[in-house]
Amino acid sequence: MSKNNKPKNVTSIAIKINSISVRDLFFRFLVIDICLILILVGLWCIESEKSFYGELVQNAQRSFNFYPIETSSYTVVWNDGKTMAKEASTFLYNLRKIIIVLGIVEGIFLVEKIIFGTAKIRRVLKPLNEIAETASRLSNMDFDEEKFQSLEDAISKISPVTSDERIHIGDSELQGLEDAINKLLDRMRDSYRQQARFVSDASHELRTPISVIQGYANMLDRWGKNDESVLEESITAIKAESENMKNLVEQLLFLARGINGKTQLNMTEFLLNDMMNEVLEESKMIDKNHIYRYTNSENIIAYGDIGLLKQTTRILIENAARYTDKGEVITLRVGINDKGETYFSIQDNGIGIDEKDVPYIFERFFRADTARVRKDGGTGLGLSIAKWIIDNHKGYFSVLSRAEIGTRIMVFLPQKNK
């Protein structure tokens, strides 16, 4: 095999593996949706019978007319002659809305898998080329049966998922192959941990809004559709939770694109003062519940992607506003430190962060043990996005916070020639 053919073969294998993964994910979603539909329909039927007859009778005659949906009904005939014919169109319409929402969310996950899955698999398979090259170099060396057996035994005892063990058989001739296999194991374990955490966190965050939407839909179906106040409350709640789900998915896709190198930075020189003034005016217009102040002494030139840096500033201001009481002051500053690094900062006098939680605030979906938890539509991904942006600018954060006193987050950007 020629050297030039290796990347093509690795790509082909990655595409095939990703196709299988996408197919399996699609069928998994399909099975979940079917089970969910059956469960909701079953619960609705049981609730309808209990409301009408007072109990669930096993040997009653039941029929469900699904089509057309406008005239759909659920009919039950009991042995004592009682008959229930309940209109089901409203329930089916609400059920369809829930399935549409789930379908959109699942579709986004499938699209993300289709777009970025092959690249992820290629990175995982990349160490196999190193193993192949090492094996090729070793093919001209003489090995006895004991060396092969020792290597095979060492590999068989290693778990690529749950164990942190490494291969080491103490043979200098196999050192290169050991290193290649250990690197592959490290990448596989890291990828597995990231994927498991991502799926777990995303599933946990999506469960709440879906449950809220489902709860309000069931309430509307049972008795809320004839009560205008309940109807208005339900519509408002469903719209709010749908917006939360949309924001969460958009932020997850932003992080996914960033991790996979799909987000490119447009680096330019600009006046940091102008950027902060723009964000200040936006904040004053959007948020009437807090007082915004801006402090600066001179015009400061920064180097970076102004759009992404402005997004970082908005994230920090939204966090400050979320955890600061109405009528309190939020202060914006810009400056240059003794090292010649430009910086901007957001300071509030809100509920603050416990010292032990500060190192973890930039982790995805992190929840502090104190009262500083997400509310008012927060997704727990804002600071993770901000950290990705600043890391890719080769900058860093400085966080000073005290519980019940306030928080100041400073963002430092390096000079252009660094």
In degrees, to the nearest 5, what angle opens at C-alpha 334 toward C-alphas 330 and 336?
A: 145
Domains and CATH numbers, the chain: 3-259 (no CATH), 268-413 (3.30.565.10)
pLDDT band at 141 (very low <50, low <70, confident <90, very high): low
Residue 175, CB half-sphere, CA atoms under 13 Å: how many?
4
> Looking at residues 195-206, what average pLDDT do you find?
66
Contact call for residues 16 and 116 (beta carbons, < 8 A): no
Tell me which of 30 and 184 has the higher pLDDT: 30
Contact call for residues 14 and 113 (beta carbons, < 8 A): no
372 pLDDT above the threshold of 60: no
- Structure confidence at residue 344 (pLDDT): 95
- Structure confidence at residue 233 (pLDDT): 81
CA distances in angstroms from 96 to 33, 91, 188, 383, listed in the order given: 11, 9, 40, 35
DSSP 3-state percent helix, strand, coil across the chain (nearest 5): 60, 15, 25
216 pLDDT above the threshold of 90: no
**What long-range pairs does 32-36 form, CB within 8 A, spacing at least 24?**
33/99, 33/102, 33/103, 33/106, 36/99, 36/102
Question: Helix, strand or coil for residue 196?
Answer: helix
- Enumerate helices (H) and strands (E) in the chain, giving the number of each: 8, 10
Tokens of 257: 């694109």
pTM for this prediction: 0.48
pLDDT band at 330 (very low <50, low <70, confident <90, very high): very high
Q: Is 270 left (phi over 0), alpha (psi -120 to 50) or beta?
A: beta
> Looking at residues 332-356, what average pLDDT do you find?
90
Nearest residue to 87 (alpha-carbon basis) of 235, 230, 222, 229: 222
